[in-house]
Amino acid sequence: MGTASRVIVHADMDAFFASIEQRDRPELRGRPVIVGGQPPRGVVAAASYEARPFGVHSAQPTVEALRRCPDAVLVPGDMKRYARESAKIRAIFERFSPEVEPLSLDEAFIDLTRGLRALGGTPLEIGRRLKDAVRAETGLAVSVGIAPVKMAAKIAGDLSKPDGLIEVRPGEVAAFLAPLPISRLWGVGEVTEASLRGIGLQTIGDLAGIDLARPDPRGPRGVVPRALLSLLSRLQPLSRGEDDREVEPEREALSYGEENTFPDDVSDMDRLRDALIGHADAVARRLRHDGVAGDVVRVKLKTSERLARPGRYRLHTRQETLEAPTQDGREIGRVACALLERGRLPLPLRLVGVAVAGIRPASASIGGQMSLFEKPKPVAELDRALDSIASRFGAGAVRRGGGGGEKASPTLGVKRGEG
Ligand SMILES: [Mg+2]
């Protein structure tokens, strides 16, 4: 698989919006700060570390956040300012490698593999340099995880917060993952977690350790229903640190996307639609989180047809421009499914994705009536409920249209100079 030689960095700004406010308004430093919309309809977009011990977190209704932390200072968000900061940070990342895959305004994967020699230094030294550059040029803290595979890099970065730096070396990935709760694994939402715990798998290492080829009647496999077996064999490589997903820099205009590679090539339309609907929900959630909306829905359909270059497959994209920008998962899902069904299909597919482009601040798109980080009235209640569940249990926990449960990996494309 050749993953052992890769050096992948996950960089994620700490409490991004709230930290910008604390930097720019010294009177807020050391105080609990909530960036979000006004009650009764507003939601939390970011909470400073001082607010988090009170149980304040993003996507929570502001009313609830202020009930938990009455001393918090509520700051209305300034998306334009945050987007400028985001562009500055992305430019710093790109000095380290052209291979930057943004995941949101404040989070990205950076592939250092090819540039490592030119940069001069160990991965850990370069990670330190990246943190120092961000600190020196923006005054903000970024947490950094380094690993040979994406999932481990992200988990390392998350565990290092705040303002941390953790490297997982080649050969150490499985040992790093083993003691972590099974819910940390990509693709394990609330439902899957319950199933896995139900057969005695608590940690990632528990899953990595079972031998699916040689069932032990006393062990988990003896009581695993057939349906769970396919899930286990799908998740097990990841639990052992085998993950060949590449860092995918995108050079198109700003877009928010989610996609998944199926464990097997898929021709079943219900399963394809189910995956698209799940992706549409996830994309919509991120659009709402960032206070933006978009009017172009795009689907990405990768066939199992191999191209001459090793590891490359034929990719088809189809898109549709809506009458008005949206951040509504149902609408995005409806359009994505229509695009899937439009014209002759290059079945079977090995990957499907949904992206929304034509991004603009959500407030502008609702005729200025909606303040930033507030949900537009007609769209809202179900989506708000989904956001709140997803933020508590992870995006895999909720899904609007049935339980396909395909693993999604988020993408965000930003053209240089935008976003
Ligand atoms: Mg962050």
Q: If you ran DSSP here, which 8-state letter would residue 38 be given?
A: P
Assess whether 318 and 394 both reside in one domain.
yes
- Over residues 295-308, mean pLDDT: 84
Assess whether 151 and 270 both reside in one domain.
no
Domain that residue 211 falls in: 176-239
Assess whether 292 and 345 both reside in one domain.
yes
In the reported structure, the alpha carbon of residue 330 is separated from the centroid of ligand 1 by a whole-number distance in angstroms of 27
- The model's confidence at residue 101, banded by pLDDT at 50, 70 and 90, is confident
In the reported structure, the alpha carbon of residue 1 is separated from the centroid of ligand 1 by a whole-number distance in angstroms of 30
Cis peptide bond upstream of 162, omega within 30: yes
- Pick the catalytic residue from 50, 107, 167, 406: 107
Q: Is residue 230 part of a domain?
A: yes
Assess whether 10 and 148 both reside in one domain.
yes
Assess whether 21 carries a catalytic annotation: no
In the reported structure, the alpha carbon of residue 6 is separated from the centroid of ligand 1 by a whole-number distance in angstroms of 24
Assess whether 37 and 58 both reside in one domain.
yes
Assess whether 283 and 373 both reside in one domain.
yes
Distance of CA 270 to the CA centre of its chain: 24
Assess whether 139 and 24 both reside in one domain.
yes
In the reported structure, the alpha carbon of residue 106 is separated from the centroid of ligand 1 by a whole-number distance in angstroms of 5
Assess whether 142 and 182 both reside in one domain.
no
Q: Say yes or no to pLDDT of 411 above 60.
A: no
Q: Is residue 182 part of a domain?
A: yes
In the reported structure, the alpha carbon of residue 209 is separated from the centroid of ligand 1 by a whole-number distance in angstroms of 32
Distance of CA 210 to the CA centre of its chain: 28
Q: Is residue 249 part of a domain?
A: no
- Over residues 398-415, mean pLDDT: 44
Residue 213's CATH number: 1.10.150
In the reported structure, the alpha carbon of residue 12 is separated from the centroid of ligand 1 by a whole-number distance in angstroms of 5
Assess whether 371 and 408 both reside in one domain.
yes
Q: Say yes or no to pLDDT of 394 above 80.
A: no
Assess whether 298 and 347 both reside in one domain.
yes
Q: Do residues 277 and 337 touch, judged by C-beta distance below 8 A?
A: yes
Residue 261 burial by Cβ neighbours in a 10 Å radius (0-12, 13-18, 19+):
middle
Q: Is residue 329 part of a domain?
A: yes
In the reported structure, the alpha carbon of residue 27 is separated from the centroid of ligand 1 by a whole-number distance in angstroms of 22
Please write the tens of the pLDDT for every residue from 185-206. Answer: 987 877 788 888 888 899 999 9
In the reported structure, the alpha carbon of residue 105 is separated from the centroid of ligand 1 by a whole-number distance in angstroms of 8
Q: Say yes or no to pLDDT of 239 above 60.
A: yes
pTM of the model: 0.65
* Count of domains for the chain: 3
- Name the packing angle between helices 380-393 and 269-289 (round to 10°): 90
Assess whether 216 and 271 both reside in one domain.
no
In the reported structure, the alpha carbon of residue 69 is separated from the centroid of ligand 1 by a whole-number distance in angstroms of 21
Whole-angstrom distance, CA of residue 141 vs CA of residue 72: 21
* 138, 194, 243, 366, 374 from 166: Cα distances, Å: 21, 29, 19, 42, 36
From first CA to last CA, the distance across the chain in angstroms is 34
CA-based R_g, the chain, Å: 21
In the reported structure, the alpha carbon of residue 13 is separated from the centroid of ligand 1 by a whole-number distance in angstroms of 4
Please write the tens of the pLDDT for every residue from 244-291. Answer: 888 887 644 578 888 888 888 889 899 999 999 999 999 998 888 877
In the reported structure, the alpha carbon of residue 47 is separated from the centroid of ligand 1 by a whole-number distance in angstroms of 10
Q: Which of 122-126, 159-163, 365-369, 410-414 has the lowest mean pLDDT?
A: 365-369
